[in-house]
Structure 1
Amino acid sequence: MKYLHTAALALTLSAAAAALAARGAQTQASTPATGPLQAQADALVGNKGEWTILAWSMDRNEPLFAINADSARVPASNNKVYSTVWAMGTLGPDYRFPTDLLIAGPVQNGTLRGNVVIRGSGDPAFGYPDWDKDVMASPRKMAAALQRIGVRVVEGGVVADPSIHDQQNFGPQWPLDTGNGASRYAPTVSGLPFNRNMLWIEIRGGTAFQRIPDVPEIPVINNVRAGGGRAFAVRKPDEDTIRLRGGVGGRGPYRFGVGAYEPAYLAGGAIRQALREAGIEVRGAVTVGKTPENAVVVHRHFSIPLHEIVHVTNRHSDNFFAEHLWKAAVAKSTGHGTYAGGGSASAAFFHDRAGVPWGQLWQADGSGLSAQNRTSANAMVRTLMYAHKAPWSAQFHESLAIAGDPEGTMKNMFNNTPAAGNLHAKTGFIRSVRSLSGFVKTAGGETVAFSFIYNGRNTSGSRGVQLALGNLLATYRR
């Protein structure tokens, strides 16, 4: 399979972003720096050129303070606000991703004269261990459906179809430590995900290993030795071969997880494994391709509701879920979940629905890992206000981490301050970026949407400024 090279994709995205910026240059500043808390905010914020900041009273429909509110900055994981809002706005909070098992050929005397097909729609929760305690539970239900129609032998193999998405399975300009989707915190993205797109290698009672799921189409080179030491599993960024290195002592078990370069093999391998466990002989290999036109659906699996996925995405800043929600929104809007087409489709959605000015928002990916993402505080606040007024407002609010709450990314923020238990927001950080955007109730009872985004070297100091600004809002009384 051919993949669009990341550098080429970066050029495409940069050109599109520049075009949007040119259109945005004609937009007048929409958030003048005047408000009842402006002087106090100015005193708290140091190098103002490194910030974009806006706090907006939704009750009075006016700013409480603003600093460079129309200037676009890198948002880090605040980008997930756009991804989850776009998915809720286009797919709906109760949407469930379908994953289909199909047969491509006739069944004659118990033999399928063709292939089994597993076709995805980008469900990030398919085979996800937090919901399927046994990740093979859903593949086994699919195998049972094939048994019910009398299949005992599959003459062909298993075709894994991720084609609802493009073939770029990792975001543009992701940090080097993601290994193009090899890492656990940012595994690969696919139209046919399975078990977070992680291949697990398990060693028990020696140095022999097994793959989970059983998918020999992903090569594993085992150089693990007995006799202590630290074993680990790695792959190079641009290939699927996994290498086991180091040493193991005792009987184990030892488990190592690596994000698969072509993750569709995992779902295909899981289906073949489930079929064989059910006593169905599968004679062919797992391949990645498109569903034939004559294929017939045998079983359809539905995911958990989208609002549950959104909750995990925002509350715990889950990169894997965010990428899949974003690509699902791209696919719904354009017909194909592509990185190259997502930025302009996202900008158009938020311009039309939330009034975000052209040039103030660019999504290069869904999670915020890419350094090519851009947003202004004004764009973010407009989006938060759109979400606040949407029919799914309560579900969106509940997805945000709560200040000082142990469940979520703000468990160590705002503890024992006026904002604790009140302010709820999306956090964000990558190198040289700290961001915080969400909602807070003032002491006077006003609901405020805010966005504080910093790009610069003093990231530890910037987080302190964000805490101070949040408490400034929480204690404000008109």
Structure 2
Amino acid sequence: MRKLVHFSGGALFVVATLASTPASAPAQGPLQGQAQAITNATGGRWGAMAWSIKTGETLFAINADEPRIPASNNKVFSAIWALDALGPDYRFPTDMLITGPIANGVVRGDVVIRGSGDPAFGYPEYERDPMRPVRVMAQQLKARGVRVVEGGVMGDASIFGDSLIGPAWPQDTQGGASYYAPRVSGLPFQRNLLWITVRPEGGRVVTSESPAGTGIPVVVQARVGGGRALATRRPNGDTILIRGQVARQGRYGVGVANPALLAPAALREALIAEGIEVRGPVQVGKTPDNATLLHQHFSMTLGEMLPKLNRDSDNFFAEHVFKAAAAKALGQGTYEKAGEASATFYVRTAHAPNGQLYQADGSGLSALNRTSAKALVAAMVYAHRQPWSNTFHESLAIAGDRRGSMRSLFVGTPAAGKLHAKTGYIRNVRTLSGYVPTAGGDTVVFSFLYNGSNTSGARGAQIQLGNLLVNYAGR
């Protein structure tokens, strides 16, 4: 029995209700020799597999059971786990609470902002004014007649535990100071960056911060001049240094050491802007059991976020989605326990081979991540058969499409506009896993994992393999 599923990229896919799975499929297939010749030409260590959805047949398998470092193909696991655990319509809540009563316009305690890991909270790409969500919270308090907060504003990021960077992340992440891989928090705000505006004024360099009042040290070592300024933070420190020369106003975003300070600082700033006096400082802690919920902000849906994770290969979104799935499964989303929970899900639910996958983080930055091609194919076959299949398909990059990470791949080839997949690249790793409709009316699920120094050659080989599949007309 078969059903047809439409994908917005224009292709029509066949979903077979077969009992067969990639884990139980034969080792080789009709394209084995051609695929082997393509991969042999690059050297390095390959793990590759292509599997027919329509027939349950392996088209080729090259070291498909051997775990490799997946780079950003790891995001496939994060997305599918989250879709299954949370659902495509899930919206992350961010709560505002108070720890004491409101009496005569005074909050007799702290205001708390508690997160659930929403990576889009205050995110500049989605909010023209990143302060808007906290301004709404401040307005809610003002509408209740609040004039004074006797305490301070506390941020609760405890849903994700204390580990803020993934294990064995590369040095260029700078301990979460970099834009491409900021630290991870149960209470994110504006990509967990402190934005610093610098400008020359009266012969010296002055700064302002957004949000204000975080207590994060900013030290100006720059001078007025015609050169270039930099804003940096040492990987294991919290002080942000402004260095170089400043000729005109500029703005810099730096990933902070303790991201849970940002949202409460922003809320405190918004409360003050609404004319509410806040007597206490910004702090980080756990919400008391007797706190009263006053307002909830809800994010865009998980399904709407996933293109950021898969199509654009955004590490920040991937880490938060991964930890949110872990929190749903375990009660708290920690790196220490999430990897085992993810592997358990895929072995039990998606019938991935036992011992062939481990997620050390959600994005694929960690050198400790491992998966076989067979485990990735099993996960994608599982996703293809779920009610949220289209959501997952549409989150992937399309070959040759300028909107995603495959904008320069497969251009001018038969696979352009048809093959859609997740790319992956870190040093000595080049990966590509996804789906492709074939000339014979089939849908093939594939995973091409390369570990070795010839990543340029591997990229060319992956393009050849993709076109081999799209041109396949069957036996």
TM category, shorter: over 0.9
Aligned-pair distance for 1:33? 3.7
- The amino acid of 2:256's aligned partner reads A
Give the whole-Å Cα distance in 1 for the aligned partners of 2:30 and 2:274: 69
Q: Match of 1:114?
A: 109
RMSD of aligned C-alpha atoms? 1.2
SS in 2 for 1:303: strand
Asked if 1 retains the 8 angstrom alpha-carbon contact of 2:64 and 2:374, the reply is: yes
Measured after TM superposition, the shift of residue 215 of structure 1 is 2.6
Equivalent residue for 1:384? 380
- How many Å separate the matches in 2 of 1:29 and 1:272? 53
- Cross-structure match for 1:417: 413
- What is the percent sequence identity of the aligned residues? 60
* Aligned-partner residue type, residue 354 of structure 1: A
Q: Encode CA deviations 1:40-81: one digit per residue, 9 max, x unaligned.
A: 111111267601000001101010011000100000000000
Partner of 2:402: 406
| In 1, Cα distance between equivalents of 2:263 and 2:44 | 47
Is residue 423 of structure 2 the alignment partner of residue 431 of structure 1?
Answer: no
- Contact conserved, 2:233 with 2:239, CA < 8 A, in 1? yes
The corresponding residue for 1:61 is 56
Contact 2:415 2:467 in 1 (8 A): yes
**2:460 equivalent among 455, 464, 473:** 464
Checking the alignment, whether the CA contact within 8 Å between 2:23 and 2:374 is kept in structure 1 is no
The partner residue of 2:221 within 214, 220, 223 is 223
Q: Name the CA distance, whole Å, in 1 between partners of 2:251 and 2:44.
A: 47
Query: How far apart are the structure 2 equivalents of 1:294 and 1:444?
Result: 62
**TM-score, normalised to structure 2's length?**
0.93
**SS in structure 2 of the partner of residue 178 of structure 1:** helix
Please give the secondary structure, in 2, of the residue aligned with 1:428: strand
CA spacing shift, 1:174–1:38, aligned 2, 3 Å: same
Partner of 1:209: 207
> Structure 1 CA distance, aligned partners of 2:217 and 2:50?
52
Q: Secondary structure at the match of 1:164?
A: helix
Q: Aligned partners of 1:51, 1:367: CA distance in 2, in Å? A: 21
Counterpart check, 1:99 vs 2:94: yes
Q: CA deviation at 1:107?
A: 1.4
Whether the 8 Å contact between 1:48 and 1:67 is mirrored in structure 2 is no
User: Where does residue 277 of structure 1 map in the other structure?
Assistant: 273
The counterpart of 1:342, out of the listed 311, 323, 338, is: 338
CA distance in 1, matches of 2:52, 2:25: 12
1:245 corresponding residue in structure 2: 243
Look up the match of 2:38: 44
**1:211-360 alignment runs, 5 A limit:** 211-250=209-248, 252=249, 254-360=250-356
Verify the 8 A CA contact 1:31 1:378 in the aligned structure 2: no
Q: Tell me the CA shift for residue 31 of structure 1.
A: 4.9
Cα deviation digits, residues 336-356 of structure 1 (max 9, x gap): 110000111000101111101
Aligned mates of 1:178, 1:281 — CA distance in 2: 38
**Aligned counterpart for 2:174 among listed residues 157, 171, 179:** 179
In structure 1, what is the Cα distance between the partners aligned to 2:213 and 2:436? 49
Aligned-pair CA distance for 1:205 = 4.5
The equivalent residue for 2:450 is 454
**Aligned-partner Cα distance in 2 for 1:153–1:87:** 40
| Aligned pairs for 1:364-375 within 5 A | 364-375=360-371
Point out 4+ residue stretches in structure 1 off by more than 3 angstroms. 28-33
Q: Which amino acid aligns with 1:121?
A: S
Give the stretch that moved more between structures: 70-79 or 108-117. 108-117
Give a deviation string over 1:205-253, Cα, whole Å, max 9, x none: 4311011111341111111211221111111111211111111113x2x
Q: Which residue in the other structure is 2:188 paired with?
A: 193
CA displacement 1:410-461 (0-9 Å, x = unmatched): 0100000000000000000001100000000111111000000000111110
CA distance in 1 between partners of 2:191 and 2:71 (Å) = 21
> How much has 1:34 moved relative to structure 2?
2.0
Secondary structure of the corresponding residue to residue 300 of structure 2: coil
Match for 1:165 among 160, 163, 177?
A: 160
- Report the 3-state secondary structure (helix = DSSP H, G, I; strand = E; otherwise coil) of the residue aligned with 1:126: coil
- Residue aligned with 1:79, SS: helix
CA distance in 2, matches of 1:239, 1:157: 25
Q: Deviations over 1:17-55 (max 9, x none)?
A: xxxxxxxxxxx9855442111111111112676010000
Gapped runs of 5+ residues in structure 2?
1-21
Question: 429, 438, 442: which is aligned to 1:442?
Answer: 438
Task: Looking at secondary structure, tell me which structure has more strand per residue.
Answer: 2
**Aligned with 1:146 (options 112, 127, 141):** 141
In structure 1, the residue matched to 2:14 is none
The Cα offsets for residues 251-285 of structure 1, whole Å up to 9 and x where unpaired, read as x2x00111011001000110000000000011111
Partner Cα distance (2:51, 2:365) in 1:
27
The SS at the match of 2:236 is coil
Any conservation in 1 of the 2:96–2:293 contact (CA below 8 Å)? yes
CA contact (8 A) 2:23 2:352 kept: no
1:34 and 2:32 matched: no
